[in-house]
Chains A and B, each alone.
Chain A
Amino acid sequence: MLSSPKHNILAIITAPEFSLDFLWTLTFIFLTLAMLCFVGIFLIRNSIGAKAIRTKNKKMEFSPMISEFLFYEESNDIEEKKNYLHLKIEIRELIKDRFDRNVFTEVLMDLRKDLSGESKEALIHLYKDMGLHNDAFENLKSRRWQVVSKGILELSTMEVNESYSLIIKFINHRQSTIRKQAEIAVVNLKEEGITYFLDTTKYKISEWEQLKLLDVLRHKPNFEPPQFSLWLTSKNADVVLFALRLIKYFKQTDAVKSIITLLKHKRRDIRVEAIDCIKEFYFVDALPTLKLVYPKASADVKIAILDTIGEIGSKNDIGFLEIIQKREKNFNINSKVIGMLNKINPESILPTKHIETEAFFTSNLNDNALTEDEIKTVTDEFLEESKDVEADGAITVNENETTYASILGDQDEVTETDNYENIAEKQISMDIVPPVSEENTAFTNSMVEKEDEEENREPLFTLDVSLQEERIDTDSDSTSAANSSHQQEDIDWSQIINKDIPNLQLGHAIQSDEKPFISFENGAISFSANFMDEDELETMVLLENIAEMGDRRELFLLNQLLEENESPLILERANELIEKFSHQLSGPNELFSSDDGLKNSVFTKIFHLSDTATKLILLNEIEDIGDEKEIRLLESLLLDQNKWIAKRAKAIIEHIRNKINEKECSETILKVTLLPVGFELESDQNLTNALNQKRKI
């Protein structure tokens, strides 16, 4: 008889066996704990609530009693005196209970914050009269820091001077809250407290503590501050810092040398505080030290020093500030220096950034066709202003700017030369406009922008000198040469033309037959900044476009331009670009730009960006889905340094080739089987030959 096969089930994960009783026990325990927890919280909450209510009621109970006490006057009638005595006894009875005593103290402490004058004095008297300070003394002995701290605060608030000797012990307590409370109490309780504190404190004095202590001293009646300079020699740097601040606050000017010495302190905040003191007290003797420490100071200290020099310095310090202005690269510091220079010597430095050139405004004058007299007036005024400004030593004009002075100076020269001496009644029209043609404008502006986009983009200029009596024959070589040489001498073109056109040959441009540099039309000389012929200009525009948008692919074109052109300007620019693009890294696409076979494969790009592991994965993919497009890529990998990749590439090439052959065979067979009816069938031998031929191919 057949029996069913036995199945042995092997459990990989088996559930642990738990005793149900144990689970019930755990449930009971946790439920009990939860209940206890809830009950505990409920009781504690109720207790706190009840205590708060009780405290509030007690406070309201004590409040009129305390008021009665505070506003009791000796002049009151006998009845009131009796009441007062009864009340006193009643309070004494009440505060026998510790809770009531605490509440009573709490009320007094609260009121102490809100009351001043006689009421405050009466309150303190009541506190001491009831002997509540004894509780505070007891608190000082406690091991709990909160209790000690509370005791110190109470004694300090209620001004129990007797506690001073007890509290000073806590000045260097390791518990920071006690220490801080003790510091305030010591300074508050006695006048000599501050000196004791500064003498003995070993710990850091935080900014908050310093402020608090200063506040205590500030509100101390009849406080006579000690000579805080005594603590400038303290070994505790925080004491030195606090002493400096106290010196500044209480205006103690007796520590000039010590403060000057502290300019060299290692701590930055002390140096800054010392600088503040020097500025506040006008310590002129500190100027040499300020200059001495300046170079190695941090930026904020430098600014503080400059601020102080600006405040207390004189014209003797201008030299130092000017040197800093030249050397300093930090914008904030540099701005500060300029500010201070102007503070010491008002308006010694005038605005230079984003200021239009004078020429910009005179172009408008030209548009409105000013008469000769008007122009002369304007130019004369400008010349005078320029002289004044130069005389003041003010820096007003950039190197690159075209000044009226240079232009007008040249203009005068022109009238004095032989060729122009007969030119009378000339109408000067100075246009600061882009040079002549649109191409030129584009070119020039692009050059200017390259240097500094924020610089004044107002372009070069043309000078139109209208002639009334005589025209100059430009065809004459001698005249043109004379003109050109004269022009070169008289007009400082290096100022006019942007520095980005270094090798510009003006003479050459002027002698150009096609577009003369100086043209005469309708009795007017036109100085046009037409420095190159149109072909050159087009090439330059092309080069600028390449510079802006091109990459290393333009190298071929650039080399071609180098061969075709002779203009030094073009050659230089092309060389610059070749140099620039030669250093560019090749992009993944460009790596194989010369090899179209590699481009065919979609894997090429990603393959050359991958690490070895990824490359191997990609090779697997190529094996699976690749076709003849991948063969060129695989062949390039046969010489790969990594043997694995080379070996794998070789195997895949074979695999793909086989795949292609199989595919072709099947296609051929398919073609043969689908030949149309009546088609003359080739013999098997012919078919095989054709296949072999194809394979060879």
Chain B
Amino acid sequence: MSFRTATTLVGLLFISQALAEQTAVERGAYLLHAGGCISCHTADADDAVPLTGGDALATPFGTFYAPNITPDKATGIGTWSDKDFLGAMQKGIRPDGSHYYPVYPYTSYTGMTRKDILAIKAYLFSLDPVMQQNRDHDLPWYLFSRLLAGAWQFIFFTPERFVPDTNRSATWNRGAYLVRHLGHCGECHTSRNLFGATRDDIELSGNPDGPDGKKVPNITPDKKTGIGKWSADEIIFFLEIGMLPDGDFTGGSMSQVIDDNTSQLTANDRIAIVEYVMNLEPRDKAGTN
């Protein structure tokens, strides 16, 4: 092999590697939106730098502050390996081996593919590191130890990847992946048991105790208490710009979800979400059929 061919080959190798990295970063940017990361990890203030840590999130189990996830080595995730990041997203385990509180939706993210998770990491690591100290959570005395988070995990959580249902369409499966895992819709729209685990048996039928003490609506296709009267177009339009079928516009935390997540998706992904949601079991407010 001549020297020239060799250098060309090496050059090509670098170029293709650069291209592959670029796609991972781009994919990661998209998935970060689909994963709703921005809403919690960014403060509300107009001058807040995205992903440097969020505002207080009040839950029945205490007040939480989502941490800085920019690649700052001291205060962000700059020292994390791929394994650390996968452990956090799929298993709810911190790089030091202790456990996350389930307010961080790893219970949903666990279904994500390794490839998607690492694309998000690639994107996060392409950002400017921002030094911003994390705020401690404000928790009741019985939750001060993360050991309890570990016990909770042992009882209520099984890490498992999403497995497509071959009896359903590709669109439905994409929707299931987006709704159940990336978009973690159930974290707010599904009610929880006494211990804060989402009740997947009554998936998305509404939650009387949502974040900040707010009620979160039923989004199953129940005609009376859910969104059974909405057309597919109306749901798509809602996800795109936040308009309800009566011409009103949503407020509250869904407004942020529209801005940071669902409006940023491709039209096909919004269609997939609608396909999934419209095929849910219709349930009334109490979660019964």
Question: Are A and B co-members of a single complex?
Answer: no
